[in-house]
Amino acid sequence: MKSENKFEPNYFFSTPILKTHLRFDRAFNTRLANYLLELESKDRDYSHGAAHNSNVSGWRSGEDLLFAKMNEFSQLATRVSEVVNGVMDSANPEKTPPRAKNLVHMYAWANVNRRGAYNVAHTHPGHQWAGVYYVRVSDSDADKPLSGVLEFSDPRAAAGLLPVDNFDFGERIRVAPKEGMLVLFPGWLTHFVHPYEGAGERVSIAFNIRLDKKPHR
């Protein structure tokens, strides 16, 4: 007998994780990578194997990267700001009421991970959004599928205690880095990076983002 019960499921507590490819050419990323590797080579305070915030055994630059006198950084910041405002628009597709554009306050730092380097589980407190742009993604060992993978944990602490068929409660989301990829996510979302296992280096730029409304004129 066919059930007469009708219902419309509602899904709450959704968590946006955005992946997009920024259309810079290969030469753009090469210039960024060369600059950052040179910056690393001049860092006299860097101690291999030490922990630098979330980064373990890798190199982490200062957080003033966007102030470098290199046009590529300003171009990257502009693209990231456009993506952030696009994400904010997507949450209000009907524009009711009309939403003012946000002032995007952003700072950034670089990470260089070589074999064995990784990032421990962490969040970005005090910032609405966080992100990472992959400048160089060197090949990984063929038998290490999780090498350098970015992983997000389900923010609902008890979600994975009891599995429910057809629902991904407690599932972890994994993102395999690709050169030119930007990943954007809420700053409160716990994430980490698996150890990189390869002969080259993984070069990325991480962002912290805070939003303010533009003043009305």
* Rounded Cα gap, residues 56 and 194, in angstroms: 11
* Rounded Cα gap, residues 140 and 130, in angstroms: 25
- The sheet with strand 59-60 has its strands ordered as 18-21, 181-186, 129-137, 202-213, 102-113, 59-60
Assign a CATH topology to domain 18-42+51-92+101-213. Answer: Jelly Rolls (2.60.120)
φ/ψ (deg, to 5) at 36: -70, -35
Alpha-carbon torsion (78, 82, 87, 89), positive or negative: positive
| Residue 2, pLDDT score | 62
pLDDT by position in tens, the chain (length 217): 566 778 888 888 889 999 999 999 999 999 999 999 999 999 977 777 777 889 999 999 999 999 999 999 999 999 999 999 999 888 877 766 656 677 899 999 999 999 999 999 999 999 999 999 999 999 999 999 999 999 999 999 899 899 899 888 999 999 999 999 999 999 999 999 999 999 999 999 999 999 987 654 4
| Residue 5, pLDDT score | 77
CB 19 within 8 A of CB 175: yes
* Rounded Cα gap, residues 27 and 109, in angstroms: 20
| Residue 163, pLDDT score | 87
Nearest alpha-carbon partner for 177 in 190, 193, 153: 193
| Residue 216, pLDDT score | 47
